Amino acid sequence: MTLLILIDSREQHPWAFPKFDTHRCTLETGDYSVVIPQDSPLSKYSDESLDYTICIDRKGCTAELFQNVTQARFKNEIDRMGKFRHKFLILEFSMDDILRFPYGSSIPKRRWRYLRVKPEFVLGYLTNLMLSGISVIFAGDSSNAQRICLNILKKVYLNSTENTI
Handedness of CA 81, 126, 63, 142 (dihedral sign): negative
Grade residue 159 by pLDDT with cuts at 50, 70 and 90: confident
The mean of the pLDDT values for the chain is 90
**What CATH class has 4-9+20-37+44-164?**
alpha beta
pTM exceeds cut of 0.85? yes
Please write the tens of the pLDDT for every residue from 78-109: 999 999 999 999 999 999 999 999 999 999 99
In what side-by-side order are the strands of the sheet with 32-34? 21-25, 4-8, 32-34, 54-59, 86-91, 135-138
91 has which bridge partners?
A: 59, 138
Residue 165 has pLDDT above 50, yes or no: no
Strands 32-34 and 21-25: unpaired
Mean pLDDT score, 32-60: 71
